[in-house]
Structure 1
Amino acid sequence: MKHRALDSAFLIRHTVILFFGILTVLPFFVLLSLSFKDSTQFNLQRWSVTFPFHWENYDAAWQAIHVYIGNSFVISGVTVIGVLVISCLAAYPLARIHFFMKEKIYFLIIALLMIPFTLTMVPLFSLVIEFRILNSWLGLWGPYIASGQVFCIFVLRSFFSSLSEEMFEAARVDGASEMRILFSIVLPLSKAIIATLGVLNVLNTWNDYIWPVMVINDDRLMPLTIGLMVFQKQFTTDWGPLFAGYVIASIPLLIMFIFASKQFVEGLSSGSVKM
């Protein structure tokens, strides 16, 4: 009886997991199927796979959004590099160097995590206008880097503090400077957590819509999220290219996660990021 109960519980648990797994994956298969349909197939056979596949949908979608994808690469790439460089340079002294009011400065930084972004949008927009960087990538990079580094400093400071003190003492005895210790010892040991933070920052900037739509009006500078809205207006009744555009827009994130998945999982399981 005990074995039967365990088998029943095992079956129920995995059935529930499978059900929610299918619910997670199903929308992506529907999206992929819709991206190959023309208007007639979409109206008459929306939820089934239809033949022939209309590959020209992808050509039309690519011609319409490739500029926006390039813009998003530039915006996200510069943002992630800026966030990680500044966060590492800020987190190391907060973790390993003693200086006046260090703890107070650290608590002031992490206190910013408690402030919702919606409360800072209006003053931040006023600063962007004041600095005359409206309708430029600087108007995106500055706020993205400033807001993104708070969480990264919090995580990296905790991780750097957990490293063995003996390594730092031995390096200092050998005459290594603090910058040499950071780049030769700390950063190589922090690859997984840095990769995790990089992936999270790419997701935040790549998928953000509200701030870019406030700052960017020039069609040549628009990131992908705004570009897809423009694209949607162009293909209001032609659904195939529209869904093909959504598929193309998701491919860079899928490729990034495939290549960074090992480091991402290592960073999450290291105990430094609690999701």
Structure 2
Amino acid sequence: MTNYIRLRSLFTHGGILFIGLLTIIPFFILVNLSFKDSSQFNLHRWAITFPFHFANYSAAWQVIRLYIWNSFVVSGVTVVAVLAVSCLAAYPMARMKFFLKEKIYYLIIALLMIPFTLTLVPLFSLIIDLKFLDSWLGLWGPYIAGGQVFCIFVLRSFFSSLPEEMFEAARVDGADELRILFSIVLPLSKAIIATLGVLNVLNTWNDYIWPLMVISDESKMPLTLGLTTFQQMFTTNWGPLFAGYVIASIPLIVLFMFASKQFVEGLASGSIKM
């Protein structure tokens, strides 16, 4: 029995290691290619070659920094607005009583069953009518409106699971509902809010279809669109091209490094099942 457990553990850890290598190795290949010039890329594509050409990163940064900043603006404003509105909407759905509360909640949740692709045409028509084309408002509006639904669903479940005694004690002490939300509920919800924030950043940062429809001004293009323009500039100059891809991946890596603890706690809390 002991040998069986050890053998199963060996296979399990071996499988995890293999999957981890499949995830990490492409990134190391990308970094290796980013330090090559054209001759090194053509003659020794997969080997580590010297000297390293750090100028590739300087050339890539000059082009890609604008697109990274645009993505920061789009994703940052979207995430802050989505979390703020979702918390304010989920709290009454979870802890307060009002007319048609459950029906309103189910109508909101029903929006989860509508695929995003089915909303592209009416959303685009609305953006045209509002004259939001080539504007960040054309990105912020749909992102904020669409991101709230899942966040309200998750936060409402989490807020409902908190002990009622805390709310009763706060009300006895004279705290109103906003004071309860900001002083009690939100401090206890840091992990789940951080998890939702990371998920929203990933959704907006990596989105390509909607920015492609709304943004044509190069100065307002987010990173996903900017990379296509960037690729056309360095079509055969492979070093700066791959250096740009490395730079483009750094913000999300740094984000997960700083938010990984809260992200894992949020997943482990049972409020989100991945």
TM-score of the pair, normalised by structure 2:
0.98
Alignment partner of 1:190 is 2:189? yes
Residue by residue over 1:64-93, the C-alpha shift from the partner in whole angstroms, topping out at 9 and shown as x without a partner, is 110111111110000000100000000000
Q: State the match for 2:63 in structure 1.
A: 64
Q: Distance in 1 between matches of 2:130 and 2:182?
A: 34
Q: State the match for 2:14 in structure 1.
A: 15
3-state DSSP of counterpart to 1:118: helix
Q: Which amino acid aligns with 1:111?
A: A
Q: State the superposition RMSD in angstroms.
A: 0.8
Alignment partner of 1:165 is 2:164? yes
Gaps of 5+ in 1: none
Alignment partner of 1:150 is 2:142? no
Q: State the match for 1:40 in structure 2.
A: 39
Q: Distance in 1 between matches of 2:104 and 2:2?
A: 57
Q: Which amino acid aligns with 2:273?
A: K
Residue by residue over 1:198-232, the C-alpha shift from the partner in whole angstroms, topping out at 9 and shown as x without a partner, is 00000111111110010001111000111111000
Report the CA distance between 1:44 and its aligned residue.
1.0
Q: Distance in 1 between matches of 2:12 and 2:269?
A: 27
Q: 1:181 to 1:237 in 2, by over 3 A?
A: same
Report the CA distance between 1:160 and its aligned residue.
0.3
**Percent sequence identity over matched residues?**
75
3-state DSSP of counterpart to 2:160: helix
Q: How many pairs align?
A: 274
3-state DSSP of counterpart to 1:62: helix
Report the CA distance between 1:15 and its aligned residue.
1.9
3-state DSSP of counterpart to 1:59: helix
Q: Which amino acid aligns with 1:96?
A: R
Residue by residue over 1:232-272, the C-alpha shift from the partner in whole angstroms, topping out at 9 and shown as x without a partner, is 00000011101100100111111111111111111110111
Report the CA distance between 1:274 and its aligned residue.
1.0
Q: State the match for 2:91 in structure 1.
A: 92
Alignment partner of 1:121 is 2:120? yes
Q: Distance in 2 between matches of 1:223 and 1:15?
A: 39
Q: State the match for 2:238 in structure 1.
A: 239
Deviates more, 1:13-22 or 1:50-59: 13-22
Q: Distance in 2 between matches of 1:214 and 1:80?
A: 21
Q: State the match for 2:219 in structure 1.
A: 220
Report the CA distance between 1:18 and its aligned residue.
1.5
Q: Distance in 2 between matches of 1:53 and 1:68?
A: 26
Q: Which amino acid aligns with 2:72?
A: F
Q: Distance in 1 between matches of 2:18 and 2:136?
A: 43
TM-score of the pair, normalised by structure 1:
0.98
Q: Distance in 1 between matches of 2:59 and 2:182?
A: 46
Q: Which amino acid aligns with 2:195?
A: T
Q: Distance in 2 between matches of 1:26 and 1:9?
A: 25
3-state DSSP of counterpart to 1:48: coil
Q: Distance in 1 between matches of 2:4 and 2:188?
A: 46
Q: Which amino acid aligns with 2:196?
A: L
Q: Distance in 2 between matches of 1:15 and 1:179?
A: 50
Q: Which amino acid aligns with 1:52?
A: P
Q: State the match for 2:253 in structure 1.
A: 254
Displaced runs of 4+ in structure 1, greater than 6 A? none
Report the CA distance between 1:16 and its aligned residue.
1.9
Q: State the match for 1:108 in structure 2.
A: 107
Q: State the match for 2:77 in structure 1.
A: 78
Q: State the match for 1:24 in structure 2.
A: 23
Report the CA distance between 1:13 and its aligned residue.
2.4
Alignment partner of 1:136 is 2:135? yes
3-state DSSP of counterpart to 1:22: helix
Q: Distance in 1 between matches of 2:93 and 2:5?
A: 50
